[in-house]
Amino acid sequence: MHIHIGFDIALDFDQATPALLMLNVHPSRSQDLVLPDSLRFDPEVPVSTYIDAFGNLCSRVHSPPGRFRVWTDAVITDRGLPDRSAAEAGEVPVGDLPDEVLIFLLGSRYCETDLLSPTAWNLFGGIAPGGRRVQAIVDFVHRHLEFGYPHARATRTAADAYGERRGVCRDFAHLAVTLCRCMNIPARYATGYLGDIGVPKDPSPMDFSAWFEVYLEGGWYTFDARHNQPRIGRIVMAYGRDAADVALTNSFGQHVLARFEVWTDEIAEDAALPARRDAT
End-to-end CA distance of the chain: 29
CA distance 78 to 33: 9
Looking at residue 277, its pLDDT comes to: 66
**CATH code for the structural domain at 2-79+247-266:** 2.60.40.2250
Looking at residue 68, its pLDDT comes to: 97
β-strand pairing of 146-147 with 40-42 = unpaired
CA distance 211 to 221: 11
Tell me the pLDDT of the chain averaged across its residues.
95
H or E stretch covering 179: helix 169-182
Among the residue ranges 235-239, 262-266, 273-277, the one predicted with the least confidence is 273-277
Residue 168 corresponds to which amino acid? Answer: V
Predicted confidence (pLDDT) at residue 55 exceeds the cutoff of 60: yes
Looking at residue 276, its pLDDT comes to: 62
Among the residue ranges 37-46, 53-62, 195-204, 264-273, the one predicted with the least confidence is 264-273
Domain 94-244 is of which CATH architecture?
A: Roll (3.10)
pLDDT in tens, 91-149: 999 999 999 999 999 999 999 999 999 999 999 999 999 999 999 999 999 999 999 99
Task: Give the CA-trace dihedral at 29, 108, 179, 161, to 10 degrees.
Answer: -100
Looking at residue 150, its pLDDT comes to: 92
Looking at residue 272, its pLDDT comes to: 67
CA distance 112 to 116: 7
Give the mean pLDDT of 66-77.
96
User: Could you tell me the pLDDT band of residue 270, with boundaries at 50, 70 and 90?
Assistant: confident
Which DSSP state fits 232? B
Query: Where in the chain are the domains?
Result: 2-79+247-266, 94-244
Domains 2-79+247-266 and 94-244 share a fold: no
Give the mean pLDDT of 72-88.
95
pLDDT in tens, 193-246: 999 999 999 888 899 999 999 999 999 999 999 999 999 999 999 999 999 999
HEC string for 188-225: EEEEEECCCCCCCCCCCCCCCEEEEEEEECCEEEEECC
Looking at residue 205, its pLDDT comes to: 87
Give the mean pLDDT of 45-70.
97
Cβ neighbours for 31, distance < 8 A, ≥ 6 positions apart? none
Residue 35 burial (10 A CB sphere; 0-12, 13-18, 19+): middle
Give the mean pLDDT of 146-173.
96
Whether the Cβ atoms of residue 246 and residue 239 lie closer than 8 Å to each other: yes
CA distance 34 to 96: 38
Cβ neighbours for 45, distance < 8 A, ≥ 6 positions apart? 61, 62, 63, 64, 68
List the beta bridge partners of residue 35: 75
